[in-house]
Amino acid sequence: EAGVAQSPRYKIIEKRQSVAFWCNPISGHATLYWYQQILGQGPKLLIQFQNNGVVDDSQLPKDRFSAERLKGVDSTLKIQPAKLEDSAVYLCASSPRPGQGAREQYFGPGTRLTVT
């Protein structure tokens, strides 16, 4: 089966510009996660969707970050305007519907964002 797809793989922008990342989860996976991984740190959850509803977005900086998951499949994460401290790898992950006995997550390759 195909894995989690993300694009672009790399992005360089200047501060105050906007950027968007795209994620296509594994087919049939109900839950989708966006993580921010700053160099030297573990991934930090930004937002979690179940189908097209938000489960948790408590760590999403809502003044500049937004995310949507239309139709419960693909998802887009946007940053507007970007700051230097947003430089990180943005990871997307998906997992099967809860209750199916699988709480592990399947990660995409990530998008490395550099803000200059």
Partner 1 sequence: AQSVTQPDIHITVSEGASLELRCNYSYGATPYLFWYVQSPGQGLQLLLKYFSGDTLVQGIKGFEAEFKRSQSSFNLRKPSVHWSDAAEYFCAVGDSIGISGGSYIPTFGRGTSLIVHP
Does 42 bind partner 1 (CB under 8 A)? Our answer is: yes
Helix residue ranges per DSSP H, the chain: none
* Shortest distance in whole angstroms from residue 51 CB to partner 1: 9
Q: Cα separation of 69 and 76, whole Å? A: 7
Is residue 14 within the footprint of partner 1 (CB under 8 A)? no
Closest approach of Cβ 24 to partner 1, in Å? Answer: 13
Cα dihedral 57, 35, 94, 76 sign:
positive
Contact flags string 51-90 toward partner 1, x per CB under 8 A? ----xx----------------------------------
> Of 19-27, 39-47, 62-70, 77-85, which part binds partner 1 (CB under 8 A)?
39-47
Cα–Cα distance measured from residue 74 to residue 4, given in angstroms and rounded to the nearest whole number: 10
For residues 100 and 50, the answer to whether their CB atoms sit within 8 Å is no
Using CB under 8 A, which of the segments 18-26, 71-79, 80-88, 95-103 binds partner 1?
A: 95-103
Residue 38 C-beta: closest distance to partner 1, Å: 10
Distance CA 75, CA 92 (A): 9
Q: Which amino acid is at 79?
A: I
By CB under 8 A, tell whether 43 contacts partner 1. yes
